[in-house]
Amino acid sequence: MARNQMETEETNRLTQVEEEEEDDDEEYFKEAWTEDENEEEGDENDENLEFLCLFCDSKYGSCDALFDHCRLAHFFDFNGIRKELGLDFYGSFKLINYVRSQVAENRCWSCGVHCQSKQDLQSHLHQSVDTKDVKLLLFHDKYLNPFMQEDSLLYSFGGDEEDEDDCNTSFEKEEIVKDFGNVCIDDDDDGTVEDIELSAETYNEDRKTVMAVSNGHLSYACSSKGMTDNGSDNGPSVRSLESHPKDKQSRVHFADVVEKDIKRVNDSYFGSYSAFGIHRDMISDRIRTDAYRQALLKNPSLLNGAVVMDVGCGTGILSLFAAQAGASRVISIEASEKMATVATQIAKDNGLLRSKTDGEGNKNCPGVIEVVHTMVENLDKSIQIQPHSVDILVSEWMGYCLLYESMLSSVLFARDRWLKPGGAILPDTATIFVAGFGKGGTSLPFWENVYGFNMSSIGKEVVQDAAKFPLVEIINHHDLVTNTAVLQSFDLATMKPDEVDFTATAELEAKLDDFDHKATSCYGVVLWFDTGFTNQFCKETPTVLSTSPYTPKTHWSQTILTFREPISVAASREFAAEGSADVGTDACPASKILLRISIARATQHRCIDISLETAGVCPDGRKRSWPAQIFNLT
């Protein structure tokens, strides 16, 4: 019995220990679960902090909190500067991208001083002395491009102002009139656009890059990956997914990732063109708008009774010209939801909107414009249109350096899908030109004499930095030190979509009239383009849209590629070289500069890679090559 009592006591003791251990385990898992929940809540809180500081890694949940931080910690009063400079959405958008670009280079946004590190920059930041100098820098259109991908700050800083980039279709007529003013398309013959207060076109979706599905494999542009920096290897610009995991599931996953990336870039791209300021700049470009206006209004045999497709119509200005010229139907395609709504309202306000109950338009039925919100590749899903039923395809598709952020591939898609055999495409030609520029095309002359002081050390650093990135700026034709050469020509009526990527050569010689018997320095090359409305389609009045330094400036400016070191050139073939001096130096100037330039669609959607290979040849036949340079136009 005593033994049984002992066994009972031992059993009770073990049961109590097990219960205590179970309680401990429950308490442990309860604590662990709470920690997990706290971590998840923390992660969620981190996700809610979507606005990244312009100067450091801090994140905030609202624009106001971020701007307060920037004002107190970094001496950057965004709202104060915006008010002082009178910046609209367009200018404020540029200001954010400008500041981010300067901080990425450890450069003070206010005074331009270059710091050795990010920490040094944080210590250097100070109150801006004169923000007017900053406003001058904001004239550069390159700051329209988001410097940081998925920068939510760019589309949220509007505060109580009208949120111009909101793709909301519920616009009031008064709002549109407020931003655009009145539309008055005159039909005089002087080719002016004095009465037009609108803006210009947005660009449509563009498949110029990325994805081509062929034989079950996805290919994508990757020009920069196939090039080395020594000029010896220019591999293919398109790689197949065979170089990636070969199983079908991996290929499908990769394609899905690329497609999502394209959608993200497109959303940002079309969103940026929802701001009216961009359209005003483009439509105010008289060279651009007059060229299209003349092509459409002064070629009656082409336009009268024609079915016209306007790819990337934006405000619809080209569609309005086509309707005015006598087109029977104008299909205006616009990928931005906001601008499609705007174009519809403008066509309606001018009595040119096509009613759904209308038949084919004519002189007695002015409602001929039909605005379709879609990407041109998806047009079939939005309206019923027969293949090869369009008489004229018109589009303002050109970007910087002709091909940057361009939608040429989309235009070619529309051509092959809907243009009638022998139908007109406007413009029908495009040509890229190249020339060498001298010291006057750089910032060196400015820094060499600043109120009588020599600050050339700054100028030299600026030129060195310029060799890393393409610049989009206006260059004076007096600063060109070589002849002009054709780099590449396109016939838009016949070219194939894959011809958008190309490699071409050009030969430049120093200008004989300016530098006879003297050597001068060539600091780099400048690219520009012309587009032609030739007599192939514009029988009565052919015209040319030129972005040349020799013609009035346009909003495209020119694209500048700076050499790592200047190349000395001389026009005279009798220039005596000194011994075995290196070609391209003052002692042995080159008589020719040989170029090989490749322009290809980059892996980043809507951007282009430019490869520049340079060689100099002296009169005695000796040749010197420089390492290849890779420029990414983003």
Instruction: Report the chain's C-alpha Rg in angstroms.
Output: 30
Place of tokens 């009178």: 86
Whether 540 is a known active-site residue: answer no
State the SS3 of 563-608: EEEEEEEECCCCCCCCCCCCCCECCECECEEEEEEEEEECCCCCCE
* φ, ψ at 568 (rounded to 5°): -75, 130
Query: Residue 380 to residues 255, 374, 417: CA-CA distances in angstroms?
Result: 23, 10, 10
Task: Pick the catalytic residue from 396, 499, 540, 574.
Answer: 396
Report the distance separating Cα 384 and Cα 255, nearest Å.
29
Picking from 501, 531, 504, the residue whose alpha carbon sits closest to that of residue 430 is 531
The whole-angstrom separation of Cα 384 and Cα 109 is: 52
Alpha carbon 369 to its chain's center: 29
Extended strands (E) in 5-45: none
DSSP result, 393-458: EE----BTTBTTT--HHHHHHHHHHHEEEEEEEES-EEEEEEEEE-GGGSSHHHHH-BTTB--HHH
For residues 79 and 215, what is the distance between their CA atoms, to the nearest angstrom? 54
DSSP-derived 3-state class of residue 229: coil
d(C-alpha 563, C-alpha 526), whole Å: 11
396 is catalytic: yes
CA gap 303, 572 in Å, rounded:
52
From the candidates 164, 405, 509, 613, which is the catalytic residue?
A: 405
Angle, alpha carbons 208-210-211 (nearest 5°) = 105
d(CA 127, CA 124): 10
CB 87 within 8 A of CB 70: no
Peptide bond preceding 427: is omega within 30 degrees of 0, i.e. cis? yes
**Residues with catalytic roles:** 396, 405
